[in-house]
Amino acid sequence: MLPLIEVKGLRFTYPDGTPALNGVDFTLYPGETVFLLGPNGSGKTTFVLHLNGLLRGEGLVRVCGLDLRDPRNLPTVRAKVGVLFQDPDDQLFMPTVLEDVAFGPLNFGYPRELAFQKAREALARVGMSHAADRAPYHLSAGEKRRVALAGVLATNPEVLVLDEPTTFLDPPSQRDLLCLLRELHQAKVIVSHDLTLGRALATRALFFSGGKIVAQGSFDEIIHRFGWATVPSQPNGG
Ligand code: ADP
Per-residue pLDDT of 144-195, as tens digits, reads: 989 999 999 999 999 999 999 998 788 988 898 999 999 999 999 999 999 9
Q: Which CATH architecture has domain 5-225?
A: 3-Layer(aba) Sandwich (3.40)
Pairing status of strand 5-13 against strand 19-28: antiparallel
pLDDT at residue 230, as a whole number: 67
CA of residue 109 to ligand 1 center, whole Å: 33
Determine the Cα–Cα distance for residues 183 and 208; give it in Å rounded to an integer. 27
Q: Which of 178, 181, 136 is nearest to 161 (CA)?
A: 181
Q: How far does residue 58's CA lie from ligand 1's centre (Å)?
A: 17
Cα of 57 vs centre of ligand 1, distance in Å, is 14
pTM comes to 0.92
Ligand 1 atom with minimal separation from the 191 CA:
2
Ligand 1, pocket residues at CB < 6 Å: 14, 16, 18, 20, 38, 40-46, 208
Give residue-wise pLDDT tens across range 72-85. 999 889 889 999 98
Residue 60 pLDDT exceeds 90: yes
Closest atom, ligand 1, to C-alpha of 39: 3
Taking a C-beta distance cutoff of 8 angstroms, is the pair 110, 122 a contact?
A: no
Nearest atom in ligand 1 to 163's CA: 2
- Confidence band, pLDDT 50/70/90 cuts, at residue 232: low
What does pLDDT average to over the chain? 91
Nearest CA to ligand 1 atom 14: 41
Tell me: pLDDT of 113 over 60: yes
Separation between Cα atoms, residue 229 and residue 179, nearest integer Å? 22
Closest ligand 1 atom to Cα of 40: 4
Query: To the nearest whole percent, how much of the chain has pLDDT over 90?
Result: 74
Greatest alpha-carbon pair distance for the chain in Å reads 63
Rg (CA), the chain: 18
What was the pLDDT predicted at 138? 87
Per-residue pLDDT at 237 = 44
Give the 3-state secondary structure of the chain. CCCCEEEEEEEEECCCCCEEEEEEEEEECCCCEEEEECCCCCCHHHHHHCCCCCCCCEEEEEECCEECCCHHHHHHHHHHEEEECCCHHHCCCCCCHHHHHHHHHHHCCCCHHHHHHHHHHHHHHCCCHHHCCCCHHHCCHHHHHHHHHHHHHCCCCCEEEEECCCCCCCHHHHHHHHHHHHHCCCEEEEECCCHHHHHHHCCEEEEEECCEEEEEECHHHHHHHCCCCCCCCCCCCC
How far apart are the C-alpha atoms of 76 and 174, rounded to whole Å?
31
Buried b / exposed e along 145-170 (16+ C-beta atoms within 10 A)? bbbbbbbbbbbebbbbbbbbbbebbe
Within 8 A by CB and 6+ apart from 79, the residues are 108, 155, 157
